[in-house]
Protein backbone atom coordinates (compact mmCIF):
# COMPACT_ATOMS: atom_id res chain seq x y z
CA UNK A 1 0.00 0.00 0.00
CA UNK A 2 3.01 2.29 0.07
CA UNK A 3 2.27 3.72 -3.38
CA UNK A 4 -1.35 4.51 -2.42
CA UNK A 5 -2.32 8.06 -1.49
CA UNK A 6 -5.67 8.38 0.30
CA UNK A 7 -7.78 11.54 0.38
CA UNK A 8 -10.03 11.75 3.46
CA UNK A 9 -13.37 13.55 3.20
CA UNK A 10 -15.12 14.16 6.55
CA UNK A 11 -18.88 14.09 6.92
CA UNK A 12 -21.18 16.80 8.19
CA UNK A 13 -24.29 16.83 6.04
CA UNK A 14 -22.75 19.26 3.53
CA UNK A 15 -23.29 21.84 6.30
CA UNK A 16 -20.02 21.47 8.22
CA UNK A 17 -17.08 19.07 8.49
CA UNK A 18 -16.53 16.67 11.40
CA UNK A 19 -13.05 16.93 12.90
CA UNK A 20 -13.09 13.37 14.28
CA UNK A 21 -13.50 12.08 10.71
CA UNK A 22 -10.51 14.08 9.49
CA UNK A 23 -6.91 14.03 10.79
CA UNK A 24 -7.38 11.00 13.09
CA UNK A 25 -8.40 9.00 10.02
CA UNK A 26 -5.42 10.23 8.01
CA UNK A 27 -3.15 9.19 10.89
CA UNK A 28 -4.72 5.72 10.93
CA UNK A 29 -4.16 5.37 7.18
CA UNK A 30 -0.57 6.44 7.68
CA UNK A 31 -0.13 3.61 10.17
CA UNK A 32 -1.10 1.22 7.36
CA UNK A 33 1.69 2.52 5.14
CA UNK A 34 -0.43 4.83 2.98
CA UNK A 35 0.19 8.50 2.55
CA UNK A 36 -2.97 10.42 3.39
CA UNK A 37 -4.38 13.93 3.53
CA UNK A 38 -7.64 15.53 4.63
CA UNK A 39 -9.50 17.64 2.08
CA UNK A 40 -12.00 20.09 3.50
CA UNK A 41 -14.25 20.42 0.50
CA UNK A 42 -16.67 23.39 0.38
CA UNK A 43 -19.91 23.08 2.36
CA UNK A 44 -23.09 25.16 2.47
CA UNK A 45 -22.75 25.46 -1.27
CA UNK A 46 -24.35 23.82 -4.28
CA UNK A 47 -23.37 20.98 -6.55
CA UNK A 48 -20.93 20.69 -8.30
CA UNK A 49 -18.65 22.72 -5.99
CA UNK A 50 -17.80 19.78 -3.66
CA UNK A 51 -17.27 17.46 -6.64
CA UNK A 52 -14.98 20.00 -8.30
CA UNK A 53 -12.95 20.27 -5.08
CA UNK A 54 -12.58 16.51 -4.78
CA UNK A 55 -11.43 16.15 -8.37
CA UNK A 56 -8.99 19.02 -7.93
CA UNK A 57 -7.53 17.21 -4.92
CA UNK A 58 -7.09 14.01 -6.95
CA UNK A 59 -5.35 15.97 -9.73
CA UNK A 60 -3.09 17.65 -7.20
CA UNK A 61 -2.11 14.32 -5.66
CA UNK A 62 -1.14 12.97 -9.06
CA UNK A 63 0.81 16.14 -9.90
CA UNK A 64 2.75 15.56 -6.67
CA UNK A 65 3.68 12.09 -7.87
CA UNK A 66 1.04 9.78 -6.39
CA UNK A 67 0.90 6.59 -8.45
CA UNK A 68 -2.44 5.44 -7.03
CA UNK A 69 -5.09 7.66 -5.44
CA UNK A 70 -8.01 6.60 -3.29
CA UNK A 71 -10.92 8.43 -1.68
CA UNK A 72 -12.27 7.70 1.80
CA UNK A 73 -15.40 9.52 2.91
CA UNK A 74 -17.83 9.52 5.83
CA UNK A 75 -21.58 10.17 5.56
CA UNK A 76 -22.00 13.21 3.25
CA UNK A 77 -18.25 13.02 2.69
CA UNK A 78 -18.91 9.51 1.44
CA UNK A 79 -21.34 10.97 -1.05
CA UNK A 80 -18.72 13.49 -2.17
CA UNK A 81 -16.15 10.69 -2.49
CA UNK A 82 -18.59 8.57 -4.46
CA UNK A 83 -19.32 11.41 -6.85
CA UNK A 84 -15.61 11.99 -7.29
CA UNK A 85 -15.03 8.35 -8.18
CA UNK A 86 -18.21 7.54 -10.11
CA UNK A 87 -19.63 10.66 -11.76
CA UNK A 88 -18.93 11.00 -15.48
CA UNK A 89 -16.56 13.57 -16.88
CA UNK A 90 -13.37 12.77 -14.96
CA UNK A 91 -10.10 13.31 -16.80
CA UNK A 92 -7.36 10.69 -16.71
CA UNK A 93 -5.67 12.61 -13.88
CA UNK A 94 -8.92 12.68 -11.87
CA UNK A 95 -9.71 8.99 -11.97
CA UNK A 96 -9.66 7.12 -8.70
CA UNK A 97 -8.10 3.71 -7.98
CA UNK A 98 -9.94 2.76 -4.79
CA UNK A 99 -12.99 4.02 -2.89
CA UNK A 100 -13.85 3.58 0.82
CA UNK A 101 -17.28 4.73 2.01
CA UNK A 102 -18.23 4.87 5.69
CA UNK A 103 -21.96 5.01 6.53
CA UNK A 104 -22.38 6.99 3.32
CA UNK A 105 -25.21 9.06 1.98
CA UNK A 106 -25.46 7.46 -1.47
CA UNK A 107 -28.86 8.30 -2.93
CA UNK A 108 -30.44 11.69 -3.49
CA UNK A 109 -33.57 9.89 -4.69
CA UNK A 110 -34.40 8.54 -1.23
CA UNK A 111 -36.36 10.71 1.16
CA UNK A 112 -33.94 10.02 4.03
CA UNK A 113 -31.26 12.49 5.03
CA UNK A 114 -33.03 15.33 3.28
CA UNK A 115 -30.67 17.78 4.98
CA UNK A 116 -27.71 16.72 2.83
CA UNK A 117 -29.85 16.87 -0.28
CA UNK A 118 -31.16 20.36 0.49
CA UNK A 119 -27.67 21.66 1.23
CA UNK A 120 -26.19 20.23 -1.96
CA UNK A 121 -29.05 20.49 -4.43
CA UNK A 122 -31.31 23.17 -3.00
CA UNK A 123 -34.79 22.96 -1.46
CA UNK A 124 -36.63 21.64 -4.52
CA UNK A 125 -34.24 19.79 -6.86
CA UNK A 126 -35.62 18.22 -10.00
CA UNK A 127 -35.99 14.47 -10.32
CA UNK A 128 -33.28 14.57 -12.98
CA UNK A 129 -30.82 16.34 -10.67
CA UNK A 130 -31.57 13.96 -7.82
CA UNK A 131 -30.97 10.96 -10.09
CA UNK A 132 -27.77 12.36 -11.59
CA UNK A 133 -26.26 12.83 -8.12
CA UNK A 134 -27.30 9.41 -6.76
CA UNK A 135 -24.35 7.04 -6.60
CA UNK A 136 -26.38 3.94 -7.42
CA UNK A 137 -27.23 5.47 -10.82
CA UNK A 138 -23.59 6.34 -11.56
CA UNK A 139 -22.00 2.90 -11.10
CA UNK A 140 -20.52 1.41 -14.26
CA UNK A 141 -18.36 -1.60 -14.98
CA UNK A 142 -15.17 0.50 -14.90
CA UNK A 143 -15.73 1.78 -11.36
CA UNK A 144 -12.81 1.28 -8.95
CA UNK A 145 -12.93 -1.35 -6.17
CA UNK A 146 -15.16 -0.17 -3.34
CA UNK A 147 -15.28 -0.89 0.40
CA UNK A 148 -18.53 0.13 2.12
CA UNK A 149 -19.57 -0.16 5.75
CA UNK A 150 -22.69 0.82 7.66
CA UNK A 151 -24.60 -0.18 10.78
CA UNK A 152 -27.97 -1.84 10.49
CA UNK A 153 -29.66 0.48 12.97
CA UNK A 154 -28.21 3.80 11.76
CA UNK A 155 -31.07 6.19 12.48
CA UNK A 156 -29.59 9.18 10.64
CA UNK A 157 -28.54 7.69 7.30
CA UNK A 158 -30.40 4.38 6.99
CA UNK A 159 -28.48 1.34 5.81
CA UNK A 160 -30.72 1.28 2.71
CA UNK A 161 -28.26 3.79 1.23
CA UNK A 162 -25.44 1.24 1.31
CA UNK A 163 -27.66 -1.60 0.15
CA UNK A 164 -28.69 0.39 -2.92
CA UNK A 165 -25.07 1.05 -3.80
CA UNK A 166 -24.00 -2.52 -3.09
CA UNK A 167 -26.70 -3.83 -5.40
CA UNK A 168 -25.52 -1.54 -8.19
CA UNK A 169 -21.90 -2.59 -7.69
CA UNK A 170 -22.88 -6.25 -7.87
CA UNK A 171 -25.02 -5.69 -10.93
CA UNK A 172 -22.09 -4.12 -12.79
CA UNK A 173 -19.51 -6.64 -11.61
CA UNK A 174 -17.45 -4.11 -9.63
CA UNK A 175 -15.09 -5.64 -7.03
CA UNK A 176 -16.40 -4.58 -3.64
CA UNK A 177 -16.89 -5.43 0.01
CA UNK A 178 -20.04 -4.43 1.90
CA UNK A 179 -19.98 -4.76 5.70
CA UNK A 180 -23.15 -4.14 7.71
CA UNK A 181 -22.49 -4.30 11.45
CA UNK A 182 -25.48 -5.02 13.72
CA UNK A 183 -25.52 -1.83 15.76
CA UNK A 184 -23.90 1.56 16.15
CA UNK A 185 -24.84 5.21 16.02
CA UNK A 186 -24.23 7.37 13.00
CA UNK A 187 -20.95 9.28 12.91
CA UNK A 188 -18.72 6.73 14.64
CA UNK A 189 -15.59 7.73 12.76
CA UNK A 190 -12.83 5.28 13.67
CA UNK A 191 -15.21 3.68 16.23
CA UNK A 192 -12.45 3.46 18.81
CA UNK A 193 -14.98 3.08 21.61
CA UNK A 194 -15.60 -0.45 20.36
CA UNK A 195 -19.02 -1.95 19.74
CA UNK A 196 -20.10 -3.94 16.71
CA UNK A 197 -18.52 -1.53 14.24
CA UNK A 198 -15.22 -1.32 16.13
CA UNK A 199 -13.71 -3.85 13.72
CA UNK A 200 -14.31 -1.81 10.57
CA UNK A 201 -10.76 -0.46 10.50
CA UNK A 202 -9.39 -4.01 10.70
CA UNK A 203 -11.73 -5.18 7.94
CA UNK A 204 -10.86 -2.20 5.76
CA UNK A 205 -7.12 -2.61 6.31
CA UNK A 206 -7.31 -6.28 5.31
CA UNK A 207 -9.30 -5.37 2.20
CA UNK A 208 -6.85 -2.66 1.17
CA UNK A 209 -3.94 -5.06 1.69
CA UNK A 210 -5.65 -7.60 -0.55
CA UNK A 211 -5.64 -5.20 -3.50
CA UNK A 212 -2.64 -5.35 -5.81
CA UNK A 213 -2.33 -1.65 -6.51
CA UNK A 214 1.30 -1.64 -7.49
CA UNK A 215 0.58 -2.75 -11.04
CA UNK A 216 -2.99 -1.53 -11.18
CA UNK A 217 -4.35 -4.98 -10.44
CA UNK A 218 -6.58 -3.59 -7.71
CA UNK A 219 -8.35 -1.28 -10.10
CA UNK A 220 -11.20 -2.32 -12.33
CA UNK A 221 -10.32 0.39 -14.85
Using one digit for the tens of pLDDT, what is the confidence trace for 37-84? 999 999 999 999 999 999 999 999 999 999 999 999 999 999 999 999
For residue 2, the model assigns a pLDDT of: 74
Using one digit for the tens of pLDDT, what is the confidence trace for 86-133? 999 999 999 999 999 999 999 999 999 899 999 999 999 999 999 999
Is the predicted pLDDT of residue 219 greater than 50, yes or no?
no
Is the predicted pLDDT of residue 220 greater than 90, yes or no?
no
213 — pLDDT class (breaks 50, 70, 90): low
For residue 113, the model assigns a pLDDT of: 87
Question: Are the C-beta atoms of 145 and 211 separated by less than 8 Å?
Answer: yes
Domains of the chain: which residue ranges?
4-210
202 — pLDDT class (breaks 50, 70, 90): very high
What value does the mean pLDDT take over residues 206-210?
Answer: 96
- What CATH number labels 4-210? 3.40.50.1820
Question: Are the C-beta atoms of 74 and 102 separated by less than 8 Å?
Answer: yes
Using one digit for the tens of pLDDT, what is the confidence trace for 24-48? 999 999 999 999 999 999 999 999 9
Is the predicted pLDDT of residue 214 greater than 80, yes or no?
no
Q: What's the rounded Cα separation, in Å, for the pair 189 and 70? A: 18
Annotate the chain with DSSP letters as a single string.
-TTEEEEEE--STTT---GGGSHHHHHHHHHTT-EEEE-----SS-TTHHHHHHHHHHHHHHHTT-SEEEEEEETHHHHHHHHHHHSTT--GGG--SEEEEES----SSSSS-HHHHHHHH-SS--HHHHHHT-HHHH--TTPPPEEEEEETT-SSS-THHHHHHHHHHHHTT--EEEEEES---TT-TT-TT-SGGGGHHHHHHHHHHHS-TTTTTT---
Q: What's the rounded Cα separation, in Å, for the pair 74 and 87? A: 18
Amino acid sequence: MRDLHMIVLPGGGYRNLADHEAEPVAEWLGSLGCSAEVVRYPVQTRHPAPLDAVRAAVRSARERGAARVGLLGFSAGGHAAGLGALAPGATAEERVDVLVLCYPVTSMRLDTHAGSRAMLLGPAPSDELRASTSLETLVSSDAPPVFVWHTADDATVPVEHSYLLGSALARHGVPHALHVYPSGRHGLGLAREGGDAGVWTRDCAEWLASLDLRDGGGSAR
